[in-house]
Amino acid sequence: MNVSGLSLRDLEYVVAVADEGHFGRAAERCNVSQPTLSVQVRKLETALGLVLFERSNRRVLMTAAGQAIVRQARAVLGEAQRLLALATEGRGAPLTGRLVLAAIQTLGPYYFPLVLRLLRQEFPLLSLALTEARTAEILDGLRDGRIDAALVSLPVPAGGLTVSPLFVEPFWLACPAEHPLAQGGALRARDIAGPDLLLLDEGNCLRDQTVAACGAGSSAGRHATSLETLRSMVAAGAGYTLLPALAVPAGPDPSGLTVTRGFDADGPGRTIALAWRSSDPRAAGLAHLAAFFRAHAPPATAACRDDAARPSPDLPLRNRDRRAEAV
């Protein structure tokens, strides 16, 4: 097959099928009919002399050959996108086109609704595709081109990435209303290192930050898969947990089952940052996006300075660090 016979659009179809695992959803993403997409993928398979996907009525799986082709297709599309981005950046244009923006699972559901309307106003030509995942999955997606930018909690391994701190988000305690921690004076992080501490599952950065903040052992407490499950466990009287400020409901719990409390001046928290590939030619536009997020830091948080230093990788972020980073 001559290289001139390759179409970037056909490569987009193949990558969409690989991402979605479904021809119908891939067609919707590419704004074409499913028959059109299926025919073009078949033509590409014929031209390459390879079967890229195992097809059944219930799911679509990549073959071994398909995995290699999709990996290279991502690289080709990434370079093509960089070519276009170089042209628009050279004309001083803001971010345009499709941008895959990811967020860690303990942030996205609470933060995205606060900024989406403003984002559309600030970047009217930007088509956002939002996704949520754990930190390790996000970093893999950034480095292989499936994700363009991501909202993560520091620290993260920054090799090949530009990381721009945005805001500091404090943690709050959520506990059953009848628990001793629901009452009393100033609350300190070390007060919660007990057997009733509830944690997220392994692999979640908030779990590690909770353990570091209160000095508990990494195996302490019962585990849950999400913040909403943790919240339900607290309401059921199973124990207490830490919640990021944006996940704390406004006002008292109407059921009266739970209490949320802030910590003393040295309480725990996390720094949220925007990360993107350092090689991305849209760097100026992505820096503009980071500045937008800093300018619209939620009221429960403290915005970082543009030149804020990254937090130490081995210490939980506390208010003494915030004085150095927050405006």
CATH of the domain at 20: 1.10.10.10
pTM: 0.69
Q: Give the length of the chain.
A: 327
- φ, ψ at 153 (rounded to 5°): -105, 130
Both 202 and 79 in a single domain?
Answer: no
Query: What count of other Cβ atoms lies within 10 Å of the Cβ of residue 315?
Result: 12
Both 247 and 214 in a single domain?
Answer: yes
Region 250-259: mean pLDDT is 87
Both 113 and 135 in a single domain?
Answer: yes
Give CA separation, 139 vs 112, 185, 213, 276, 314, in Å: 19, 40, 24, 9, 19
Domain final residue, candidates 90, 124, 149: 90
Whether 51 shows a pLDDT value over 80: the answer reads yes
Q: Identify the bridge partners of residue 153 per DSSP, sorted by sequence position.
A: 272
CATH of the domain at 216: 3.40.190.10
* DSSP for 197-225, written as a single string: BEEEPTT-HHHHHHHHHHT--TT-SEEES
Both 177 and 245 in a single domain?
Answer: yes
Is 232 among the domain residues? yes
Is 314 among the domain residues? no
pLDDT in tens, 136-170: 999 999 998 899 999 999 999 878 999 999 999 99
Both 179 and 254 in a single domain?
Answer: yes
Both 258 and 173 in a single domain?
Answer: yes
Domain final residue, candidates 42, 70, 90: 90
| Strand residues in 113-192 grouped as ranges (E) | 126-133, 149-153, 161-176
How would residue 88 be classed by pLDDT, with cut points 50, 70 and 90? low
Both 178 and 230 in a single domain?
Answer: yes
- The position carrying tokens 């979605």 is 20
Both 37 and 173 in a single domain?
Answer: no
- Give dist(CA 81, CA 141) in Å, integer: 16
- Give dist(CA 166, CA 308) in Å, integer: 9
Both 43 and 32 in a single domain?
Answer: yes
Is 323 among the domain residues? no
> Which domain does 42 fall in, by range?
8-90
| Residue 271 near residue 315, CB atoms below 8 Å | no
Kind of pairing between the strands at 97-104 and 126-133: parallel
How would residue 317 be classed by pLDDT, with cut points 50, 70 and 90? very low
Q: Identify the bridge partners of residue 259 per DSSP, sorted by sequence position.
A: 175
The pLDDT > 70 percentage for the chain reads 87
Is 175 among the domain residues? yes
pLDDT at position 319 is 37
Rounded mean pLDDT of the chain?
85
How would residue 297 be classed by pLDDT, with cut points 50, 70 and 90? very high
Q: In total, how many domains does the chain have? A: 3
